[in-house]
Chain A
């Protein structure tokens, strides 16, 4: 079965530090990959998506992610954390065209002043 694994349910960084949220997927073919952000009691907002164009994908709010087929990974990074980045982040995959969206468990990011 296709799956998505996010390593670390909670990540804490200091303001200005690098943010790295990890995501690994299992898929037999190149998938569609997404990162969503969720603020408390709100819906999900798309940060960025990989759709087989460029392997390095830039998103909103200074986030980016790199698709590495050899590692089946799609880790999310941001060079310098801001307090407003504190939220829950979900990695998701559509294993093939027309398939259903499969979510990881989520990673809660805390940013310390």
Chain B
């Protein structure tokens, strides 16, 4: 079945550590996105990539980094510079030639201890 996978589902990190969240899609979609979700704030865009080896900052990129070495993979690193990293992180992908519908992964809940 085609879809988006995110791992792990739950992640715990000590303050001051970097951590990488995985996102993989087998939908052959060109574009991929990372969102952060906090209670009462909807989804906010962190980074996005429209093509391999290229990515752009979203609205809240500070303290995060990404790479897009392969079409199917778009990992997100939460660095120690991110002041308040505890949140639910969602990855999405989109077929650029389609109808603008983004498909979402199941999410990773990151908790900083």
* Chain A residues packing against B (C-beta within 8 Å): 9, 32, 34, 36, 41-46, 49, 51, 90, 94, 97, 100-101, 103-106
Task: For the complex, count residues of B whose C-beta is within 8 A of A.
Answer: 24
Name which of B11-19, B79-87, B99-107 contacts chain A: B99-107
- Given the complex of chains A and B, what is the CA–CA distance between A15 and B99 in angstroms? 34
Q: Are A43 and B41 in contact (CB under 8 A)?
A: no
Once bound together, how far apart are the Cα atoms of A94 and B102, in whole Å? 11
Q: Given known contacts A49-B99, A51-B100, is B42 in contact with A105 (CB within 8 Å)? A: yes
18 contacting pairs across A/B (C-beta < 8 A):
A36-B104, A42-B106, A42-B107, A43-B4, A43-B6, A43-B104, A44-B90, A44-B92, A49-B99, A90-B42, A90-B43, A101-B100, A103-B42, A103-B43, A103-B44, A105-B40, A105-B42, A106-B40
C-alpha spacing A9/B106, complex, angstroms: 22
B74 interface residue (CB < 8 Å to A): no
Determine the main DSSP class of B at the interface with A. strand
Q: Point out the residues of chain B lying under 8 angstroms from A106, CB to CB.
A: 40, 42
Which residues of chain A are near B92, meaning CB under 8 Å?
Answer: 44
B45 CB-CB contact with A under 8 Å? yes
Q: Which residues of B contact A104 (CB under 8 A)?
A: 42
> For the complex, what is the distance from the CA of A43 to the CA of B90, rounded to whole Å?
7
Complex interface: chain B residues within 8 A of A97 (CB): 100
A9-B40, A104-B42 given; A41·B101 CB < 8 A = no
Q: Judge if B109 is at the interface, Cβ distance under 8 Å.
A: yes
A110 to B44, CA, bound (A): 24
Check: B64 CB closer than 8 A to any chain A CB: no
Which of B102, B105, B109 is in CB contact (< 8 Å) with A101?
Answer: B102
Q: Does B48 contact A (CB under 8 A)?
A: yes
Least Cβ–Cβ distance between A65 and chain B, in angstroms: 15
